[in-house]
């Protein structure tokens, strides 16, 4: 037996207090009534002090309470054998089922060989040995609980299926640390895998708890492998003749070779090209034009003729949606014709422009149906014809978007149209002063202001002073005045630029910041901004199904087999959905937007290079025993005994003794009731 805090045993000296209290007994006599003392002789009587223990049971209980209290603070313990000291351990058989385990080794795959090796490990376990089978990919799946049933363990190994996900040894290490902490039992881990280098996270993430021994069973060997590593394709197709698709073919541990790259769409071959792939290098192929793309969603694929041992990465799925460009109405009164030219050139600067510009005079626009336009642009209008502002107000309030230039021509207006902010004159950088204003403050968290370093060097010679009492300022000039403002009006948005589009009052249209600014602004206003969900993702990534404002609305997901994968509860509540295998998923979000998501295996799995042996040795050593403490107790696998505190039992006993002491003290020390005197007859 030992004590964690032996100095608290000094509290035992407090037992002297009840001894002193109980040792002194004072002789007491009960007074007797007597009529008179006049006939008694006065004499001296010696008093004798009686010293003997009183209330023995109460004395014993109080002594015991103090002793137990001192022991409780001293925290006594006894040593017991640990599970290791008793020879116990838990065997964990981890089988890698990641995408690379599809690699063929002769007539079988690596996963087949891994399962055979797992059965061999289980066959060598002694009778009654507890074990567990787990399957490893990007997440870890426990195939069994801890069991000693050989039949259940073998059946769990046979039930492991191949996966399209990548392997993560960090997930295995986290599970083993949790298991070690919960079971308090040494772990004997058998990892059966191709031990890909790409599956190894930072070394701190694979740390093992002490008393965890890991054995590596390597299946397969490094083989040359060619894969379609990446495909760059537009998410939307507006003009099929201007579409460009780029595919990168990579050789992993492979010699130089020529590969045939084929583009397929909806199951039909569109184009084929030959690509020279250097040794352990990359080659690329570019396809132009998608004339055969049909309106709506198209299932596309890039394939190569690698004929290697991992055919699963010889194809790469992606989806494109063909639709007509959205219309943008440019309202111009003819006073600044260069503004339309610069704006249109920036909007159509990409190969596949998502927007089509249409220009109208203000008086014609006032009588037009604005609902057919994704964005309306006002080019520094000095006045608005009757009915135009009302039409714009109604258009924006029901979800439309307005982008307005507020230049010198707009100064005559008291307030900015629809934005409803006061126009307070102009700011002019004269030759005698700063000569020009620069952009000094940007809201980099806004979609329009991303890549804001491109605003460096922009010169503003004249800007209109617009109030910002209701609007959010996205960019400010060096004089503190707003340059770009945004305000939400009803269901729509208004974006304002407090200068002109014609390169007269500023040099922005001649600056490299102009094209991204116009394209980001129109894309944001027209609903095609960076917030749009990508449609080409890796297995293991998530698809967003709803936002915070769409609670209770139904979402729907169909897997590559056309089966609905969400339950009724999930379709009404799930915020996202994980892509678990390759193929095309048809998704309808809670907001009603439909999309075709293409999922492909993570291409890190295509690199079959293995973890160096020295790294495996370091990983294995993290589960070895630690140093021995001064008390002689091993802190790691060498400690066969562990201290077992007796404090809980002492505390229970102390509570019982305290309760008994209260009962006995109440019985002995309660004042006695005085007998009532009989009344005189």
481-504: pLDDT as tens digits: 999 999 999 989 999 999 999 988
CA proximity to 355, closest of 381, 329, 318, 391 = 329
Fold of 326-525: Rossmann fold (3.40.50)
DSSP-assigned beta bridge partners for residue 231? 247
Q: What pLDDT is attached to residue 664?
A: 82
Write down the H helix ranges in 159-195.
Answer: 169-183
Q: What pLDDT is attached to residue 74?
A: 82
DSSP-assigned beta bridge partners for residue 377? 330, 403
Q: What pLDDT is attached to residue 434?
A: 67
Tens-digit pLDDT profile for residues 235-252:
999 888 889 999 999 999
Cα separation, 436 vs 450, whole angstroms: 24
DSSP collapsed to 3 states, 291-302:
CCCCEEEEEEEE
Say what the pTM is: 0.72
- The CA-atom distances, in angstroms, between 280 and each of 222, 286, 512 are 13, 21, 38
Instruction: Mention every residue, 6+ apart, whose C-beta is less than 8 A from residue 265.
Output: 290, 292, 293, 298, 299, 300, 301
Q: What pLDDT is attached to residue 677?
A: 52
DSSP-assigned beta bridge partners for residue 327? 356
Cα separation, 431 vs 512, whole angstroms: 25
Segments of the chain assigned to CATH 3.40.50.410: 90-222+609-621
Helix axes 110-123, 150-158, angle to 10 degrees: 170
- The CA-atom distances, in angstroms, between 112 and each of 101, 103, 105, 219, 657 are 9, 10, 9, 10, 66
**C-beta contacts of 615-622 below 8 A and 24+ residues apart:** 615/200, 615/203, 616/195, 616/216, 618/203, 619/203, 619/206, 619/208, 619/214, 620/213, 620/214, 620/216, 622/206, 622/207, 622/208
Q: What pLDDT is attached to residue 37?
A: 67
- The CA-atom distances, in angstroms, between 652 and each of 15, 65, 259, 536, 646 are 20, 12, 78, 63, 10
Decide: residue 562, CB within 10 A, 0-12 exposed, 13-18 middle, 19+ buried: exposed
**CATH number for the domain formed by residue range(s) 90-222+609-621:** 3.40.50.410
Segments of the chain assigned to CATH 2.60.40.10: 225-323
CA proximity to 169, closest of 238, 210, 216, 131 = 216
Please answer whether residues 515 and 346 qualify as being in contact, where contact means their C-beta atoms are separated by less than 8 angstroms. yes
In the chain, which stretches have pLDDT less than 70?
A: 1, 20, 22-30, 37, 39-40, 43-54, 80-87, 351-352, 430-434, 451-453, 528-531, 549-550, 625-641, 669-681
Please answer whether residues 435 and 429 qualify as being in contact, where contact means their C-beta atoms are separated by less than 8 angstroms. yes
Please answer whether residues 319 and 298 qualify as being in contact, where contact means their C-beta atoms are separated by less than 8 angstroms. yes
Helix (H, G, I), strand (E, B) or coil at 320: strand
- The CA-atom distances, in angstroms, between 202 and each of 58, 169, 170, 198 are 65, 10, 8, 11
E strand spans, 257-311: 257-265, 268-277, 282-288, 296-304
Q: What pLDDT is attached to residue 455?
A: 81
**CATH number for the domain formed by residue range(s) 225-323:** 2.60.40.10
The values of phi and psi at residue 234, to 5°, are -70, 150
């Amino acid at each position: 037996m030992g004590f964690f805090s032996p100095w608290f045993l000094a509290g035992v000296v407090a037992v002297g207090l009840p001894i002193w209290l109980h040792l002194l007994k004072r002789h007491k006599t009960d007074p007797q009534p007597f009529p008179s003392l006049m006939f008694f002789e006065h004499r001296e009587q010696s008093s004798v002090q009686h010293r003997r223990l009183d209330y023995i049971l109460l004395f014993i209980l109080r002594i015991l309470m103090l002793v137990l209290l001192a022991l409780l603070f001293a925290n006594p313990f006894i040593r017991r054998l640990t599970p290791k000291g008793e020879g116990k351990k838990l065997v964990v058989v981890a089988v890698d089922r990641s995408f690379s385990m599809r690699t063929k080794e002769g007539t079988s795959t690596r996963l087949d060989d891994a399962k055979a090796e797992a059965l061999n490990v289980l066959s060598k376990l002694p009778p009654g040995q507890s074990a567990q089978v787990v399957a490893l990919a990007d997440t870890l799946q426990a195939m069994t609980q801890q069991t000693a049933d050989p039949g259940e363990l073998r059946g769990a190994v046979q039930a492991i299926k191949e996966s399209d996900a990548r392997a993560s040894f960090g997930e295995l290490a986290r599970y083993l640390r949790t298991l070690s902490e919960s079971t308090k039992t040494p772990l004997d881990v058998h990892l059966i895998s191709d031990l890909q280098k790409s599956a190894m996270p930072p070394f701190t993430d694979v740390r093992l708890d002490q008393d965890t021994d890991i054995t590596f069973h390597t299946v397969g060997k490094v083989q040359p492998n060619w894969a379609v590593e990446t495909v760059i394709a537009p998410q939307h197709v507006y003009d099929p003749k201007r579409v460009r698709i780029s595919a990168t073919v990579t050789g992993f541990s492979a010699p130089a070779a020529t590969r045939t790259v084929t583009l397929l769409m909806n199951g039909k071959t569109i184009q084929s090209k030959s690509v020279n792939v250097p040794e352990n290098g990359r080659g690329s192929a570019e396809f132009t034009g998608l004339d055969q793309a049909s309106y709506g969603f198209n299932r596309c694929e890039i394939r190569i003729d690698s004929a290697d041992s991992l055919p699963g990465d010889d194809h790469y799925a992606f989806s494109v949606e063909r639709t007509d460009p959205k219309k943008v109405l440019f309202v111009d009164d003819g006073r600044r014709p260069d503004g339309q030219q610069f704006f249109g050139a920036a909007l159509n600067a990409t190969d596949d422009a998502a927007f089509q510009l249409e220009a109208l005079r203000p008086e014609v626009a006032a009588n037009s149906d604005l609902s057919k336009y994704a964005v309306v642009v006002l080019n520094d209008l000095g006045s608005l014809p009757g009915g135009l502002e009302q039409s714009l107000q109604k258009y924006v309030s029901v979800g439309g978007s307005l982008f307005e230039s507020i230049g010198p021509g707009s100064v005559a207006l008291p307030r900015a149209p629809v934005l409803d902010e006061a126009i307070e004159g102009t700011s002019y950088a004269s030759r005698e002063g700063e000569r020009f204003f620069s952009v000094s403050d940007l809201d980099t968290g806004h979609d329009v202001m991303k890549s804001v370093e491109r605003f460096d060097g922009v010169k503003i010679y004249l800007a209109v002073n617009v109030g910002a009492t209701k609007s959010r300022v996205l960019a400010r000039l060096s004089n503190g005045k707003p340059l770009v403002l945004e305000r939400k009006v009803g269901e729509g948005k208004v974006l304002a630029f407090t200068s002109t589009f014609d390169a007269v009052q500023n040099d922005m249209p001649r600056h490299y910041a102009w094209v991204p600014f116009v394209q980001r602004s129109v894309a944001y206003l027209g609903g095609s901004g960076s917030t749009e969900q990508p449609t080409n993702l890796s297995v293991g990534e998530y698809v967003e199904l709803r936002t915070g404002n769409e609670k209770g609305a139904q979402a729907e997901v169909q897997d590559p087999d056309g089966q609905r994968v969400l339950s009724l509860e999930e379709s009404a509540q799930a915020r996202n959905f994980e892509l678990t295998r390759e193929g095309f998923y048809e998704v309808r979000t809670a907001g009603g937007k439909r999309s075709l998501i293409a999922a492909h295996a993570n291409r890190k799995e295509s690199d079959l290079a293995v973890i160096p042996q020295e790294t495996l040795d370091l990983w294995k050593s993290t589960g070895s025993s630690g140093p021995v403490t001064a008390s002689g107790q091993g802190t790691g696998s060498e400690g066969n005994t562990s201290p077992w505190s007796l404090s809980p039992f002492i505390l229970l006993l102390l509570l019982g003794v305290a309760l008994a002491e209260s009962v006995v003290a109440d019985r002995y020390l309660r004042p006695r009731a005085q007998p009532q005197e009989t009344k005189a007859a």
